[in-house]
Chains A and B, each alone.
Chain A
Amino acid sequence: MTQKLIGMAPSRRAVLKGAGAGLLTAGFAAPVWSQAAPIKLGFQLHRTGIGAAYGRWYERTAQAALKVVNDAGGINGRPVEIVFEDDGTDPKRGAEVVEKLTSQHNCDLIFGPLFSHVVIGSAPRAGELKVPYLVCSEGFHVASGMLNRWTMQPGITDVRAQVSSMAPWVLANLGKKVTMVYPDYAFGHDHRDFFSAAVEAGGGEVIAKVAVPPTETSFTRYLPQIPNDTEVLYHVMVGPAVLTFVKELGEFYGLGAKPQIFGFIDSLEAVDIASPGLEFLEGTHFWEGHCRNQQADASEHEVAYRAAVGVDANGASVSDAKDVSTYAHMFSVWETLHVIKAGMEAAGYQGPADRQKFVEAVEAMTEMPESLAHVQGDKVFNGKTHQVFGHQFISKVEGGKLVKVHTTSIEDSIYPDAVDYMTQSF
């Protein structure tokens, strides 16, 4: 479908001025492309379905990254195009989209999906088609060895690394007796298992695990299950239920003593933290993959990235303050596109015949220093597990804003390899 420019509502005069200026400067400013055909990248987009809020921002981020890459000369001197296809956040459609992008649109590779079930449902087809499939999913499924050699996650850390690296800080600063409240399905179970293990390894104790069925819309019957001696309440609720959960949590504790509260920002991605009903979050802590509110120590690259994707200092669209971004995750699209550029240039990529060389080039990557290509921070890529490792941020809600209070080290997040994809055949 037709692509739209993001964050712009130009007047007629502005358009005419811009067009005139563009005509005058086109010969000087635009990259001079060779006659070679553009490199076509397929983007498996959650434009509709439960991932639509993420998809909207992932598309904007991809467009912004594409502009930066093309303005800098493209890839191997060739312009780059992105073909977006909606997968409806559905694994069946996801596999069909992989097929369509590869066989019909003739894309060189595919990237961009977030939701785990879509990734797991689509990766087998990518492996069969022998097309590189770079996911932005956070799931442990890549590093667990469940997928295949063509599937990689070089742009975002996985949930196992995230919870493992933050547990020491939580235990040292918030308390050692932890109660976990999580949705009773795979996403919640990952948190339950990996965070529990990290808490026990750190000398803490998970004193209660409150699993909430996925269809639940009210939490009042679960909140009394939180033991009175809980020091830290860890929550990873997702979807619209988050607002209800926080509101009911506030009513449950009232003005009395309450534990420290630590949550995953996944709960509140694309949601204004100053929304009515969320006042109870003041003073609580969150994991953030990337700080939504611009921090005082933000790097020049982070500032440039924020401007490029059209996000203001509060994490909302510059054109609509109510349109809150999925800032903690969407950097993965930006970084993945830059990894694609680096990988293709390292492989001397010319066309689909070089797809294997591209995968091998990415597998050979290790250090990824903080830069315009890696705006969230420096990272280390593990070619064996196809998974990147990086920093995590813990923020505190102060005055309705998320203020960073801790940055984990990369070493804190690294765990033993569960697979060596490099030993698998293509």
Chain B
Amino acid sequence: MSAGTKAWGLHLLVLALVFLAQFVLPSYHATNLARIMVLAVFAMGYNLAFGYTGLLSLGHALFFAAGLYGMGLPIWHLEVAAFPALILGLLAGGVMAGLVGILALRTAGVSFMIVTLMFAQAGYLTLLYLNSWTGGDEGFVVARSARVLFGFDLASDTPRFIAAFVLFAAGLLLCLWLVRSPFGRVMVAMRENEERSRMLGYDPFRVKLITLILSGVYAGGAGAAYGLLFGYVGGSFATIQYSILPMLYVLLGGAGTVLGPFLGALLMFYLIDITSGYTDAYFFVVGAALVALVLFAPKGILGSLRERVLQWLP
């Protein structure tokens, strides 16, 4: 069996298992899984930039928030329907990433981290300043009547799960196709040796900008979906915490692996959910787990697995 067949087979199997999970999981965990799928899409976008292209961004909360507000504000102020609002959110993430990328990609390494962080912080403060338009730090509720997609009420559990699954499946398969495509290999080339890629005739700025825009579309799509599926748009989603989270998901699951973001989001979600039941210091536990990960499996769970057993894992 070829590596490609194995890869597609594994990812389709994972999708089938995730889809079937809704029929066997208790409702609490089924809703959690819907949240995790959307957060995993956010992390997949981050993984394209960081895991495959080497762009360590600290500003992805801005792209997530762009999608969230790009969807929410047209619904709130203009009574736009759910589907066009979702598309607007998706585009908002991509456009925001493109604008930030044009400026931030003039830098690299630590400078890139700082510049993206500053853009995200500026975006967060802008949301607070424009309180009368954005709801500021308190945010606003997306009316239940507006959360209807193609006749399905997204406030109901089954349609919400399926909507999250469709987004997740599309994100996962697109990511798998992309990283196995020639462009995906160029992305990896940028990560491994930008100068050598330039010598071979590739334009690093162009490749990285396209990747960042794609990453922003993923983040924007996840933000828009999160607001639509769970009915709330708020400034807290634009804080630095939401730039760190996708990075943690990717590091935990395995940077540069297609399934890593999902695995990382799943494990991190339940790590917090379970440990918070036992201690106030659950973020300490999360931190300790990450330190252990860096020490013993620096390439993340799937990254380590690929290194030792599954060399064909994309």
Give chain A's interface residues, CB within 8 Å of chain B. Answer: 1, 47-48, 85-86, 88, 90-93, 95-96, 99-100, 103-104, 116-117, 120-121, 123-125, 127-128, 139, 141, 146-148, 184-187, 189, 213-215
> Of B131, B136, B230, B236, which one neighbours A124 at CB under 8 angstroms?
B230
Closest A residue by C-beta to B269: A96
Asked if residues B139 and A91 are in contact (CB atoms below 8 Å), the reply is: yes
Q: Known: A95-B230, A116-B138, A117-B234. Is A100-B280 also a contact (CB below 8 A)? A: no
Query: Can you list 22 A-B contacts (CB < 8 A)?
Result: A1-B279, A1-B280, A91-B236, A93-B272, A95-B232, A100-B273, A103-B31, A104-B26, A116-B138, A121-B139, A121-B236, A123-B141, A124-B155, A124-B230, A125-B230, A128-B156, A147-B141, A184-B128, A186-B131, A187-B137, A187-B138, A214-B128
B230 contact set on A, CB distance < 8 A: 95, 124-125
Closest 3 CB pairs of A and B: A124-B231, A186-B136, A103-B28
- A103 and B28 CA atoms in complex are apart in Å by 5
B167: Cβ under 8 A from any A Cβ: no
Asked if residues A121 and B276 are in contact (CB atoms below 8 Å), the reply is: no
Distance (Å) between the CB of A266 and the closest chain B CB? Answer: 15
Q: Which of B32, B141, B235, B273 has the most CB of A within 10 A?
A: B141
B298: Cβ under 8 A from any A Cβ: no
A99 contact set on B, CB distance < 8 A: 28, 31-32
Closest A residue by C-beta to B241: A90
Chain B 224-251, CB-CB to A under 8 Å as 1, else 0, gives: 0000001110111100000000000000
> Of B26, B232, B276, B280, which one neighbours A91 at CB under 8 angstroms?
B232
- A90 and B31 CA atoms in complex are apart in Å by 18
Asked if residues B141 and A185 are in contact (CB atoms below 8 Å), the reply is: no
A141 contact set on B, CB distance < 8 A: 138
- A148 and B230 CA atoms in complex are apart in Å by 14
> Of B129, B236, B273, which one neighbours A90 at CB under 8 angstroms?
B236
B35: Cβ under 8 A from any A Cβ: yes
- A47 and B234 CA atoms in complex are apart in Å by 21
Asked if residues B128 and A146 are in contact (CB atoms below 8 Å), the reply is: no
Closest B residue by C-beta to A89: B236
B151: Cβ under 8 A from any A Cβ: no
- A141 and B140 CA atoms in complex are apart in Å by 9
Distance (Å) between the CB of A43 and the closest chain B CB? Answer: 14
Q: Which of B247-306 contact A (CB under 8 A)?
A: 272-273, 276-280, 282-283
Asked if residues A117 and B139 are in contact (CB atoms below 8 Å), the reply is: yes
Distance (Å) between the CB of B32 and the closest chain A CB? Answer: 7
- A96 and B280 CA atoms in complex are apart in Å by 17
Q: Known: A116-B138, A186-B135. Is A124-B144 also a contact (CB below 8 A)? A: yes
Closest A residue by C-beta to B275: A1
B129 contact set on A, CB distance < 8 A: 184
B125: Cβ under 8 A from any A Cβ: yes
Q: Known: A103-B26, A185-B131, A189-B136. Is A91-B234 also a contact (CB below 8 A)? A: yes
Chain B 117-154, CB-CB to A under 8 Å as 1, else 0, gives: 00000000100110110011111111010000000000
Closest B residue by C-beta to A121: B232
Asked if residues A214 and B125 are in contact (CB atoms below 8 Å), the reply is: yes
| Other A-B pairs beyond A99-B32, A146-B141, A214-B128, 9, CB < 8 Å | A1-B278, A1-B280, A48-B280, A85-B276, A90-B236, A91-B236, A103-B27, A124-B230, A213-B125
- A288 and B155 CA atoms in complex are apart in Å by 39
- A1 and B32 CA atoms in complex are apart in Å by 21
Asked if residues A117 and B28 are in contact (CB atoms below 8 Å), the reply is: no
Asked if residues B138 and A120 are in contact (CB atoms below 8 Å), the reply is: yes
- A374 and B1 CA atoms in complex are apart in Å by 73
B138 contact set on A, CB distance < 8 A: 116-117, 120, 139, 141, 186-187
Q: Known: A47-B280, A92-B237, A186-B131. Is A120-B139 also a contact (CB below 8 A)? A: yes
A91 contact set on B, CB distance < 8 A: 139, 232, 234, 236
A95 contact set on B, CB distance < 8 A: 230, 232
A146 contact set on B, CB distance < 8 A: 140-141
Asked if residues A120 and B137 are in contact (CB atoms below 8 Å), the reply is: no
Distance (Å) between the CB of B284 and the closest chain A CB? Answer: 11
- A313 and B129 CA atoms in complex are apart in Å by 41
Q: Which of B35, B140, B276 has the most CB of A within 10 A?
A: B276
Closest A residue by C-beta to B35: A96
- A90 and B32 CA atoms in complex are apart in Å by 16
B27 contact set on A, CB distance < 8 A: 103
- A374 and B156 CA atoms in complex are apart in Å by 38
Q: Known: A1-B277, A103-B28. Is A117-B125 also a contact (CB below 8 A)? A: no
Asked if residues A100 and B140 are in contact (CB atoms below 8 Å), the reply is: no
Closest A residue by C-beta to B39: A92
- A140 and B27 CA atoms in complex are apart in Å by 32
Asked if residues A104 and B155 are in contact (CB atoms below 8 Å), the reply is: no
B144 contact set on A, CB distance < 8 A: 124, 127-128, 148
Chain B 155-171, CB-CB to A under 8 Å as 1, else 0, gives: 11000000000000000
Distance (Å) between the CB of B35 and the closest chain A CB? Answer: 7
Distance (Å) between the CB of A397 and the closest chain B CB? Answer: 29
Asked if residues A117 and B280 are in contact (CB atoms below 8 Å), the reply is: no
Asked if residues A117 and B140 are in contact (CB atoms below 8 Å), the reply is: no
A47 contact set on B, CB distance < 8 A: 280
Asked if residues B236 and A120 are in contact (CB atoms below 8 Å), the reply is: no
Q: Which of B93-136 contact A (CB under 8 A)?
A: 125, 128-129, 131-132, 135-136
- A185 and B125 CA atoms in complex are apart in Å by 9
Q: Known: A48-B280, A91-B139, A103-B31. Is A117-B236 also a contact (CB below 8 A)? A: yes
Closest A residue by C-beta to B156: A128
Q: Which of B22-55 contact A (CB under 8 A)?
A: 26-28, 31-32, 35
Distance (Å) between the CB of A189 and the closest chain B CB? Answer: 5
Asked if residues B139 and A96 are in contact (CB atoms below 8 Å), the reply is: no
Q: Known: A100-B273, A214-B128. Is A185-B232 also a contact (CB below 8 A)? A: no
- A326 and B142 CA atoms in complex are apart in Å by 32
